[in-house]
Amino acid sequence: MNHVDKPVSFDPEALRRKVSEISVAAPGESQDAGQTVELNPLARKIAAQFRADTYSPSMIIGLLRLLEFGALLALGYGIHALYVSSMGLSVFYLCVLVGGAAIGVLMLQFADAYQVPALRSPWRMTPRILAAWALAFGAMALIVFFFKSGEQYSRVWFASWFVAGALYLVIERQVIAYSIRRWARNGTMERRAVIVGGGEPAKELIRTLEHQPENDIRICGIFDDRDERRSPAIIAGYPKLGNVAELVEFARLARIDMLIISLPLSAEARILALLKKLWVLPVDIRLAAHSKGLRFRPRSYSQVGSLPMLDIFDKPIADWDNVAKRLFDVFFSVVALLLLWPVMLGAAIAVKLSSPGPIIFKQKRHGFNNEIIEVYKFRSMYTHLADPTAKAAVTKGDPRVTRVGRFLRKSSIDELPQFFNVLKGDLSLVGPRPHAIQAQSNDRKYVDVVESYFARHRVKPGVTGWAQINGWRGEIDHDDKIRFRTEFDLYYIENWSLWLDLKILFLTPLRLLNTENAY
């Protein structure tokens, strides 16, 4: 009987759900995410080479749009000041300037002039760029005509702006092309990837990536649990740097953007086992799908050149979302400090007068990507009884807490110095609350209670969070409390938006009125 291979259907969303459900429900046997793994010298050396941050193509292109909008606007204004009037802009000219620059950028977008291949080939794109700029001016001329405002503006200014803008775009695109080539050489503009899985599938994947004409992927190494009989030490010229447990540590030391799993789609059990270890990392996780006979579900895959990648997990907050969140944090932290400085001054004086010791208590906690950060609080305990490790949680009526400290903790005023952590960049205003390194529940570390615990660290920890405004605040005296907190934290990460941050921020003062669990 002849057997005909059927197309493989693969559902990344179902796999994501399965990983999340298994990892949050109960602790598993593998705790690689919570253990410190010693990297071999080669892996540590390569990780050190990739410590510097990179800029993704989407960030570069976004900045280029802003640059061209501002430059075209400035050219039009400069010609207006020299030829029309140096006394200032009328409302009409202001509207034409802003609208013209915006329409110009929009036309360039429609002409695909903001694609990386287009930026690399400026001479080939010059006709398109000039046509897009001409269309923008044609659109402005039509708008002025229909509003019967032609007599209000100078035609010499209009024509001069068109010529100056065209010259600027042609010259600027040459400079951008040179810069992109330079950034590609020195690693400023690239996506760093690690291959998970070795053997022939990895070799085929690497060869395919290397033959992509506009490839921005930098392969940093290969990790595989199998021995050298099935997974050689060198694959397509790239070294195998260790096993999957070591990969978790490697990705925390290096600035990695993407993990590419090079396994056949039929090996779902092994893929699931890998994802349970790897999804705690703040990186994109892709499954290479370059074999034949695949049937993709809509919107389930992306492409690197012509190579399809199944999207398993995305970095939660990346690129411009990260910029927006940082601006949000800085703005509201400055506002909070301006409004609350009298409260903070009063708290500092009260702490100093209540007992000997420093005003500020510094505690090491887990931060973004499981890095160690130092978090500031107003000291609420007697200095000689303080417990920086937080092994022994504060309980109701705890004798280690001062009278002033008890009030500060109840009201959460002790947390106010963390606004300075936000300005430093260690914390975000909203995110999973950072826990002390040695924090425990019933003599077990949190990661031993909830296997997905370190998935909370895929984003920066926050001064307040979704779990806190939903009542999960204060002492953790039962395993279910840390499980529920983790579930709420993971919900926040998967559903993040600036609107959600704003909602949490404004609900926090109201929720703090409930001090039942705050000791």
User: Hey, what are 203's tokens?
Assistant: 């070799």
Q: Given pLDDT bands bounded at 50, 70 and 90, which one contains residue 516?
A: low
Q: What is the pLDDT of residues 378-387, one digit of tens each?
A: 998 888 877 7
Q: What is the pLDDT of residues 113-156, one digit of tens each?
A: 998 888 888 899 999 999 999 999 888 888 877 766 656 667 88
Classify domain 9-54+190-315 by CATH number: 3.40.50.20
> What is the pLDDT at residue 4?
40
Task: With a cut of 90, say whether residue 429 has pLDDT above it.
Answer: yes
> What is the pLDDT at residue 1?
42
Which residue did the predictor score with more confidence, 26 or 171?
171
Sequence ranges of the domains in the chain:
9-54+190-315, 57-186, 320-511
Q: Given pLDDT bands bounded at 50, 70 and 90, which one contains residue 314?
A: confident
DSSP annotation of 28: -
> What is the pLDDT at residue 88?
61
Q: What is the pLDDT of residues 365-377, one digit of tens each?
A: 988 988 889 999 9
Which residue did the predictor score with more confidence, 455 or 54?
455
Task: With a cut of 80, say whether residue 405 has pLDDT above it.
Answer: yes
Label the pairing between strands 284-288 and 234-235: unpaired
Q: In which residue are the tokens 């049937």 written?
A: 295
State mean pLDDT over 172-176: 94
State mean pLDDT over 404-418: 89
Lowest mean pLDDT among 66-80, 388-402, 433-447, 500-514: 388-402
Task: With a cut of 50, say whether residue 31 has pLDDT above it.
Answer: no
Task: With a cut of 90, say whether residue 184 has pLDDT above it.
Answer: no
Is 420 in contact with 391 (CB distance < 8 Å)? no
Task: With a cut of 90, say whether residue 170 has pLDDT above it.
Answer: yes
Task: With a cut of 50, say whether residue 7 has pLDDT above it.
Answer: no
Is 442 in contact with 479 (CB distance < 8 Å)? yes
Is 393 in contact with 477 (CB distance < 8 Å)? yes
- For residues 97 and 246, what is the distance between their CA atoms, to the nearest angstrom? 55
Q: What is the pLDDT of residues 466-478, one digit of tens each?
A: 988 888 776 666 7
